[in-house]
Amino acid sequence: MIEEEVVEYYKFLYLRGHVSLLSGNISVRTDDCILITPTSAPKPLLTPRDLVCIDLRGNVVRGERRPSSEWRMHVAIYRARPDVNAVVHTHAVLPTILAERLKPGLLAESESYLGGGIAVVPPIKPGTWELAEAVAAALARDNVAVLKKHGVVAVGPALAEAVNRAEVLNDIALATLAEIWSGGP
């Protein structure tokens, strides 16, 4: 069941340090709606029935909770990218701080996993349409974006690819930091 997948993948992201207890959000596009994590909940403890189904305008179709405060960002991405069926937003610290300095070329396979470059979005107030539209525009060609002073967005045709891209971006950040520490080129 896709709801169980969302809940399980969220735990992976939490356990690997990509999000804190209340931060971040995940959504998937299903046949009839966008299934998204709720706002203001300790997300590693979510159960499938805590998820909320919204339409492409943000109206709640199913579910008892309120959708993530970043629902606008998820909706804007799905509107702009018909090929995308999963959106992952984390607050991973390293890629967020390194942003333009990230070097995907340090890890040979990372570029093929990302399937594009790393977009960088300037600091914009969270939860706004302004941020949603800036992220959707940044992801017109790329599958990962760093939101400066905020976090990371990764997208994919399914949840596994989107989560993997968030992890690969974190690996690139670790490699970049290691290179800086070791006084690399």
Interface mask toward Zn ion for 64-103; x: CB under 5 A: ----------------------------------------
Q: Which stretch binds Zn ion (CB under 5 A): 11-19, 117-125, 151-159, 170-178?
A: 151-159
CB 174 within 8 A of CB 123: no
CB of 112 to Zn ion, least distance (A): 27
CB of 83 to Zn ion, least distance (A): 23
Q: Which stretch binds Zn ion (CB under 5 A): 52-60, 101-109, 116-124, 146-154?
A: 146-154
Sheet containing 34-36: give its strands across.
60-62, 52-54, 34-36, 25-29, 86-90, 151-156, 144-147, 118-121
- Catalytic site includes residue 70: yes
The verdict on 151 binding Zn ion (CB under 5 A) reads yes
Helix/strand/coil for 44: helix
CB of 27 to Zn ion, least distance (A): 13
Cα separation, 69 vs 75, in Å, equals 12
Cα separation, 14 vs 82, in Å, equals 28
Active-site residues, by number, are: 70
